[in-house]
């Protein structure tokens, strides 16, 4: 018999979006190792909300705690479980097949054995991200009109927000001429500008500003 519970082994992830919360408690029925050596067809994004988990094993192992984000690309090895000395590991997750133009947003700064990791996120940002996870799960499981479109729309926002907090994005310096253009427009709010006007002022090409 086919398993219809995505939290149990054998579930067929054949949809474009599946979302849920995995509440792992020591000794409970969900307290087992997820082992998918060949990965999956789609991506899984994962946010730890409580407790700690361990990803991989041996010298390659690392732990995640509340507020940490993981992104498993297709074919990346899945091997994770509750951290042995921790009583629980609750994590929210979304399995999805991305749209083609999302590719840039799905490459994060830090990577371990093909799995992307983001730690040290501000608590306010974690709360905002978790709300998106919750809303996506709720909408995807509802019977409201256009639920698939709404869920994908929120997922796109989640993916962009996760990309926007990557260190290489946050610390990426702006071209001083772009800053000059921003200041120039701020000081002349009463004027109307074309892209070509700003390009001439800053000695930048219109395409660079656009």
* CATH code of the domain in which 57 resides: 2.60.120.280
pTM given for the model:
0.78
Q: How many domains does the chain have?
A: 2
Same domain, 163 and 72: yes
Residues in contact with 21: Cβ distance below 8 Å, sequence separation at least 6, in sequence order: 49, 90, 91, 92, 93, 137
Output 186 or 25, whichever has higher pLDDT.
25
Residues 30 and 78 placed together within one structural domain of the fold: yes
Same domain flag for 135 and 183: no
On the question of pLDDT at 151 being above 80, the answer is: yes
Mean pLDDT score, 102-114:
95
Residue 116 resides in a domain = yes
3 in a structural domain: no
- Could you list the residue range(s) of the whole structural domain that residue 192 is in? 176-209
Q: Are residues 138 and 185 in the same domain?
A: no
Is residue 44's pLDDT more than 80? yes
> Measured at the alpha carbon of residue 134, what is the angle toward residues 87 and 16, in degrees to the nearest 5?
105
């Amino acid at each position: 018999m086919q398993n219809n519970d995505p939290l149990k082994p054998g579930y067929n992830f054949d949809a474009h979006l599946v979302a849920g919360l995995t509440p792992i408690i020591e000794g409970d029925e969900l307290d087992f190792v997820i082992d998918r050596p060949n990965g999956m067809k789609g991506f899984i994004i994962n946010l730890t909300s409580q407790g700690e988990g361990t990803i991989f094993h041996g010298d390659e192992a690392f732990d995640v705690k509340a507020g940490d984000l993981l992104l498993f690309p297709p074919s990346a090895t899945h091997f994770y479980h509750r951290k042995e000395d921790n009583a629980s590991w609750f994590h929210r997750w979304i399995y999805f097949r991305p749209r083609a133009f999302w590719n840039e947003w799905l490459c994060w700064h830090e990577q371990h054995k093909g799995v992307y990791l983001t730690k040290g996120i501000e608590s306010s940002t974690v709360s905002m991200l978790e709300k998106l996870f919750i809303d996506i799960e709720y909408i995807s499981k509802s019977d409201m009109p256009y639920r698939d479109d709404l869920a994908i729309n929120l997922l796109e926002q989640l993916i962009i927000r996760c990309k926007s907090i990557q260190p290489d994005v946050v610390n990426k310096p702006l071209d001083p001429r772009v800053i000059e253009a921003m200041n120039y427009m701020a000081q002349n709010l009463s004027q109307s500008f074309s892209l070509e006007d700003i390009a001439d002022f800053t000695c930048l090409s219109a395409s660079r500003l656009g």
